């Protein structure tokens, strides 16, 4: 079986908000409930991760859209609940899931049959002014090792994918902290103006955990050819996302076409997978690649599509592993 690294999952908000599932058992894909009127998709749980041979996952903590403009103390409380949830998973998995905080932890991924978890914050809406920067130390102590500055909305750090904001003075200070503490900077959900400002500011290789490409469908979450080239030139990484909304199709062949497009543009070394599983509330999912247990199906389809075994290993595992190791 191929080893898998998945650059973006939403276990916490799915389990706490969108489905109320038990993460340690295999749930029916639409089994559960929420109070938002959103479709339930149980795409990730421990049995599914094991069936898919997933070795490392970025587990996101994020706010729902209606929570982003709440009082900052409410926002911090809500995100604390999600970090607490990941700690609950780590404590109660009998060692089957372990936290990755540094290079030594990452080395265990190749030695252990269990699953590494990198805590990620998707949209850093927990600072309103420069004096709030000290909160970064709290999240670092909680084990957060990956941070995206925005979600779809602008904040006091940068412009989100749905906005037009600039990288700010406070945003630069957050990037400085990220660089100085060996944290991964994720440019997913960043606006194009801020993307280029960050690209010109940061010393880190550019990284987007889950996105798609504008050659297939234009969307403010997707990236254009110049962004793809800039990421590759920096030695960075692009996590391609199997989401029909951003792919323009629910066909697995079209997802494979998006991988081939980036491959033809910049080469094999900058491509990985960021599934956004458990964050997908659409009724429409990619055929044959709908959940973490389907990763081996994806690998088989990649063979049929013309990728070699070594290319598949790079896309599904090695590229991401080497990138993460470079930062941590």
User: Residue 126 is part of a domain; what is its CATH number?
Assistant: 3.20.20.140
Q: Tell me what the mean pLDDT of segment 211-231 comes to.
A: 95
| pLDDT value, residue 110 | 76
Q: Tell me what the mean pLDDT of segment 14-36 comes to.
A: 95
pLDDT grade, residue 113 (50/70/90)? Answer: confident
> How far apart, in whole angstroms, are the C-alpha atoms of residue 32 and residue 58?
23
Structural domains in the chain (count): 1
* Per-residue model confidence as pLDDT tens digits over 4-24: 999 999 999 999 999 999 999
> How far apart, in whole angstroms, are the C-alpha atoms of residue 84 and residue 101?
16
Q: Which two tokens stand for residue 96?
A: 């089957």
Q: Tell me what the mean pLDDT of segment 56-67 comes to.
A: 96
pLDDT grade, residue 123 (50/70/90)? Answer: very high
| pLDDT value, residue 254 | 96
> How far apart, in whole angstroms, are the C-alpha atoms of residue 139 and residue 124?
11
| CA–centroid distance for 169 within its chain | 25
| CA–centroid distance for 158 within its chain | 18
| pLDDT value, residue 279 | 96
Q: What is the DSSP string of 151-208?
A: SSS--SS--BTTS-PPP-HHHHHHHHHHHHTTPEEE-TTB-HHHHHHHHHH-SSPPEE
User: Mean of the per-residue pLDDT values for the chain?
Assistant: 96
Q: Which residues pair with 9 in a beta bridge?
A: 59, 277
Residue carrying the six token digits 């951003």: 246
- The DSSP secondary-structure symbol of 18 reads I
* Per-residue model confidence as pLDDT tens digits over 233-273: 999 999 999 999 999 999 999 999 999 999 999 999 999 99
Helix (H, G, I), strand (E, B) or coil at 246: helix
pLDDT grade, residue 296 (50/70/90)? Answer: very high
- The DSSP secondary-structure symbol of 76 reads H
Share of the chain above pLDDT 70, in %: 100
* Per-residue model confidence as pLDDT tens digits over 80-98: 999 999 999 999 999 999 9
Contact call for residues 80 and 138 (beta carbons, < 8 A): no
Which class for 91: exposed (0-12), middle (13-18), buried (19 or more C-beta within 10 A)?
Answer: exposed
Domain range holding 304? 4-327
| pLDDT value, residue 215 | 86
| pLDDT value, residue 321 | 98
């Amino acid at each position: 079986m191929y080893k898998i690294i998945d650059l973006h999952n939403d276990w916490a908000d799915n389990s706490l908000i969108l489905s109320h599932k038990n993460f340690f058992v295999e749930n029916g894909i639409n089994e559960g409930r929420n109070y938002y009127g959103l479709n339930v998709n149980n795409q990730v749980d421990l049995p599914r991760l094991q069936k898919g041979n997933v070795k490392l996952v970025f587990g996101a903590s994020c706010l729902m859209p209606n929570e982003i403009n709440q009082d900052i103390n409410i926002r911090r409380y809500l995100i604390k609940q999600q970090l607490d949830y990941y700690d609950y998973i780590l404590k109660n998995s009998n060692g089957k899931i372990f936290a990755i905080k540094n290079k030594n932890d990452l080395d265990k991924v190749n030695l252990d049959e269990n699953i590494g978890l990198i805590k990620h914050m998707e949209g850093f809406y927990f600072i309103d002014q420069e004096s709030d920067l000290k909160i970064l130390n709290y999240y670092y102590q909680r084990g957060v090792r990956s941070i995206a500055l925005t979600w779809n909305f602008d904040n006091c750090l940068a412009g989100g994918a749905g906005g037009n904001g600039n990288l700010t003075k406070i945003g630069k200070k957050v990037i400085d902290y990220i660089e100085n503490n060996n944290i991964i900077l994720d440019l997913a959900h960043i606006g194009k103006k801020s993307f280029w400002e960050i690209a010109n500011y940061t010393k880190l290789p550019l990284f987007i955990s889950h996105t798609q490409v504008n050659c297939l469908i234009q969307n403010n979450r997707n990236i254009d050819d110049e962004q793809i080239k800039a990421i590759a030139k920096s030695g960075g990484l692009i996590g391609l996302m199997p989401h029909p909304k951003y792919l323009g199709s629910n066909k697995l062949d079209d997802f494979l076409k998006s991988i081939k497009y980036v491959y033809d543009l910049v080469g094999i070394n900058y491509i990985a997978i960021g599934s956004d599983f458990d964050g997908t509330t659409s009724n429409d999912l990619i055929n044959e690649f709908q959940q973490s247990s389907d990763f081996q199906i994806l690998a088989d389809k990649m063979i049929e599509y013309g990728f070699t075994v070594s290319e598949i290993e790079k896309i599904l595992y090695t590229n991401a592993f080497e990138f993460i190791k470079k930062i941590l």
